[in-house]
Amino acid sequence: MLLREEWRGPVVIHVFDGRWTDQQFVEYLNRLDLNLQNEKKYVVVCDATTSGAIDSKQAKMMARWVKENHDRLKRYCMGSVFVLPSAFMRGVLRGLLAFQSLPYPYVVRNSMAEAIEWARPLVAPLQIP
C-alpha cells in the first residue's frame, strides 16, 4: 500500500509498504489521477523496498490506467525510477510492464540514493533558477 507521497519540487516520491487491498490500489490510482491534473512535469521515485507484490487483478487495473492515461503520462511524466532491491519484485515489475509499457523512460535501482542520482538530470531542466 502507499505509505506516503512526498513532493520535493518536481520529484514525487511514493513509498510503498506491505500488501495492497483492491480498495487501497484504487485509491492509489485516484492519487495518480490527481497528480496528472496538476498539469506540471514531474519525475516519480517509487520506493518499493518493503512492499509486497500486487496481484494479477491489480496489475490489470494498473495496465488499464496507464493505457487510459497514456497521452497525459507522456506529456507530464519525465521518467520513473523503481527502488526494487529484490529479484522477485523486479520480476513482478517486468510482468506488469508486459501488460502495458510505460510512455516514459524508467529504470530499476537498488537504493533510494541510486534512484535520486538517476532522477537528478531529469529534473534539472524543471528547476526554477
Contact 15, 4 (CB under 8 A): yes
CATH class of the structural domain 2-122 = alpha beta
Which one, of 36, 25, 18, lies nearest residue 60 by Cα?
Answer: 25
Domain locations in the chain? 2-122
Q: How far is residue 50's CA from residue 114's CA, in Å, rounded to a whole number?
A: 17
DSSP three-state, residue 16 = strand
Q: What type of residue is 65?
A: W
pLDDT tens profile 88-110:
888 888 877 777 889 999 999 99
Pairwise CA distance, residues 108 & 111, whole Å: 9
| Model confidence at 125: pLDDT above 70 | yes
| Mean predicted confidence (pLDDT) in 10-25 | 91
